Copies of this chain bind each other. A is one copy, B any other.
Amino acid sequence: MGDRPSYDRKLLQILRDAAGVFAEKGYHRASIRDISAATDVSLSGLYYYFSSKEELLFLVQNHCFGTLLARLEEDLGQTTDPAARLRIVVRNHLHFFLDNMEEMKVLSHEADVLTGKYRETIQRRKRSYADTVHGILSELRPADGPDLRTATFALFGMMNWIYTWYNPDRDLRAEEMEEELLHLFLNGFLAPRNRRSDGEGGDSAPMEHSSIWRSG
């Protein structure tokens, strides 16, 4: 960023307001005039801060994702233990998500409207983020454990779906949600797999589970 504190502050405020409009109406249905109304900046005045509507969406997404990743990398530096690192990922993601739900909804929901260089930049960061989680899970994975790609995106699915149902008055706070989702995911991920029921070995598989573990 350049050395113009007033400019930077106002741009960030525009990004926040624009995220609110995008989150409520969706990118395409939201007009620059809506954003002009939300920001109290004239229609043409906005174009001093971005050069196109698409760039505005990019700035919203990139700034949001950037601070999410910056906080994550800072916290991940504290430990190399994969279980602790997974907790850090979930904690960071959920806290940031619930604290910046509008921005994160835009980041999640308007994922494939960007084109060209904008799209590439965001997708590269997302892939890097997913790779980080994938790497942590590959260290945690028990022998014959779950499919890593499926598990990684299942975890992201749990977390990113939140914007469709979360109600701050009704639902858990970030710390509790962190416990719930980490408990759900980690126990499922680490649980031994009682594979093919044809093997009668049945060492650790409780018989009562049969209706679940067998297909039919």
Contacts and interface: CB of A to CB of B under 8 A. Distances in A.
Contact of A180 (B26, B151, B165, B177): B151
Given A153-B161, A156-B161, A205 B187 contact: yes
Nearest to A26: B28
Contacts of A41: none
Contacts of A198: 83-84, 86-87, 182, 186
How many identical subunits does the complex contain? 2
A34 to B, nearest CB: 13
Interface in A141-166: 146-147, 149-151, 153-154, 156-162, 164-165
Interface string A78-98: 000101101100000000000
Interface in A170-216: 170-172, 175-193, 197-200, 204-216
A184 B180 contact: no
A53 interface: no
A147 to B, nearest CB: 5
A193 B111 CA distance: 35
Interface of A: 26, 28-29, 81, 83-84, 86-87, 109, 111, 113, 146-147, 149-151, 153-154, 156-162, 164-165, 170-172, 175-193, 197-200, 204-216
Given A187-B205, A191-B191, A192-B206, 8 more contacts: A83-B199, A83-B209, A151-B184, A156-B161, A157-B160, A158-B158, A191-B206, A208-B209
7 contacts: A84-B198, A150-B171, A154-B161, A184-B189, A186-B197, A190-B205, A204-B204
